[in-house]
Amino acid sequence: MNIVKINIGNAAIAFAVFLIIFSSFEELLYRLFGVSGLQYVIAKSFSEFICYVFLIIILLVRVKDGSLFRYKLNKFDIYILLFIFFAFLSTIINGGSIVGAVINLKTLIRYLSIYYVIVLSYGLYKDEYVIKMISVVVVVGFFQTFLVALQAYYGETFMEKYFYQQVAIVNISGVEVVKDIIEKKIGAVVGSFGKPAPMAYYMLIPISVISIKMLSAKKSYNIKYALIYVLFLMVVFMSYKRGAFVLGLMVPMIVSLQMKSVGIKYYYLLGALFALFLLLFTFDNAEMIMYQNAKDVFVTPVESISMMLNGEYWVKSIENSRGWFALNITSDIIENVRLLGYGADEDNARLVMSNENEQLSKLMHYNAFNDVYWVAMLSYYGPIGLSLFFLAIRYVYQNAKIITFSESLLYRNIGRVMCLMILVSVFAAFIERVYQFRSFAICFWAINGVIASKVYKIKQ
């Protein structure tokens, strides 16, 4: 029986490795093999489907050996179950569609299945498999660096032909499912992810891994990891995702604080500030850089960053973009929101909100609503649902902190990576729907699963 358990544990990690690779390159594969229309929509659900199949297999095995009935629900399980329950209850109360609710909820928690696949292995896997999983995360980062270099050299036409995510509109069970390209800035690279944002935020994971190695390695390896860090950060820079780039700059600082590397911390701070000033003040005066919409007119990545120092940029943001949403809409949502929110069915939730408040009626045509993700979640799930989700994330963070005190260097570093992912994702969710990005979510829940299974094993 022990052999079966060990094999299941190894298979669970190997399965996570497969998902990380597949989700990182699926858009490129669909382009190369001409998958489109309904086939494309079905293919996009493939990774989710096999997750559910694998989870069912694990559950059946655990039922057979009797261990499932001895599994004790922890606080995380309870928070997630209550979150899902109240999401559906709110949808029913607000007259929303259950199918629409499932679609919206699915994009948020679909890869919880890989978390439970790993958790139910009870930590019975070889450390070598975990090392391979983390290594694959970094190797994917190197592949993105290569693809980004090609895309930057050959330009828009090349990216449009081979790399951009496809558009597919298909009616499924009366619900219109749209797989579309989010409007991107001209010149922004996408790697193999089809869009700039999923690539940029995925790259923050290998950046976190490399930053930990950079600040804990011997001096002879320090420069090597520093160069890799700069290389990965340039990939984020070329995506024109300013929020991700700023977070990427902050990661080594957070790591140095975690590891209490005071000397290295100040050395890095001076270097980062110097690099930032070089970047932002390439021009004699940043105010001379006129504000331009990078979705309509080509600007360089340096100009894109530098425009943040231009007063007109902030005026435009407050009038038309996330700034407008944050200053005008968020206060109205907070004032009018119900305890359980407006339901997980996105279209119905927007309709109900617009009928209740004239200011909120603008949300019906505001495509970037979900980008300000915490506010969108507050609207859908209310203060109760959002609080439950925060409590679940807090529990994950606490587990990661526990693992950072492990005797094993491998698991100490994995705990640090998870802490970084949580901090990054919490900040990122104010400007991007980061928990919906496939590759980021798979890595997030897979690494969380490794940590949770180890904590579960310690407590047994």
Kindly give, in sequence order, each residue whose CB lies less than 8 Å from that of residue 214, ignoring residues fewer than 6 positions away: 222, 225, 226, 228, 229, 252
**Residue 420: how many CB atoms within 10 A of its CB?**
24
With beta carbons less than 8 A apart as the criterion, state whether 395 and 76 touch.
Answer: yes
Kindly give, in sequence order, each residue whose CB lies less than 8 Å from that of residue 176, ignoring residues fewer than 6 positions away: 169, 170
Beta pairing partners, 168: 179
Kindly give, in sequence order, each residue whose CB lies less than 8 Å from that of residue 344, ignoring residues fewer than 6 positions away: 87, 88, 90, 91, 96, 100, 101, 102, 104, 105, 380, 381
Query: pLDDT at position 177, please?
Result: 47
**Residue 287: how many CB atoms within 10 A of its CB?**
12
Cα torsion 100, 105, 111, 116 to 10°: value is -120
State the pTM of this model.
0.86
**Distance from C-alpha of 250 to C-alpha of 51, rounded to nearest angstrom:** 33
Q: What is the DSSP letter of 325?
A: I
Query: pLDDT at position 41, please?
Result: 77
Q: What is the tally of helices (H) and strands (E) in the chain?
A: 20, 2
With beta carbons less than 8 A apart as the criterion, state whether 7 and 61 touch.
Answer: no
**Distance from C-alpha of 433 to C-alpha of 428, rounded to nearest angstrom:** 8
With beta carbons less than 8 A apart as the criterion, state whether 254 and 213 touch.
Answer: no
Exposure on the CB side of residue 118, measured as CA atoms within 13 A? 28
With beta carbons less than 8 A apart as the criterion, state whether 403 and 425 touch.
Answer: no
**Distance from C-alpha of 140 to C-alpha of 309, rounded to nearest angstrom:** 33
* Angle in degrees, CA 413, 416, 419, rounded to 5: 155
Query: pLDDT at position 1, please?
Result: 40
Amino acid at site 48: E
**Distance from C-alpha of 374 to C-alpha of 63, rounded to nearest angstrom:** 37
Kindly give, in sequence order, each residue whose CB lies less than 8 Å from that of residue 49, ignoring residues fewer than 6 positions away: none
Query: Given the structure tokens 């804990």, which residue do they identify?
Result: 216
Query: Given the structure tokens 């005797």, which residue do they identify?
Result: 407
With beta carbons less than 8 A apart as the criterion, state whether 414 and 85 touch.
Answer: no
Amino acid at site 22: F
With beta carbons less than 8 A apart as the criterion, state whether 138 and 210 touch.
Answer: yes
**Distance from C-alpha of 235 to C-alpha of 189, rounded to nearest angstrom:** 8
Core vs surface per residue 175-193: b (16+ CB within 10 A) or e: eeeebeeeebbebbbbbbb
Using alpha carbons only, how large is the chain's radius of gyration in Å?
A: 22
Query: pLDDT at position 340, please?
Result: 87
Kindly give, in sequence order, each residue whose CB lies less than 8 Å from that of residue 321, ignoring residues fewer than 6 positions away: 368
pLDDT along the chain (460 residues), means of 10: 59 93 91 80 82 90 86 92 95 91 87 92 86 96 95 86 72 47 69 91 95 78 84 91 88 81 58 59 46 54 61 53 59 74 85 73 57 80 93 95 90 94 91 89 95 79
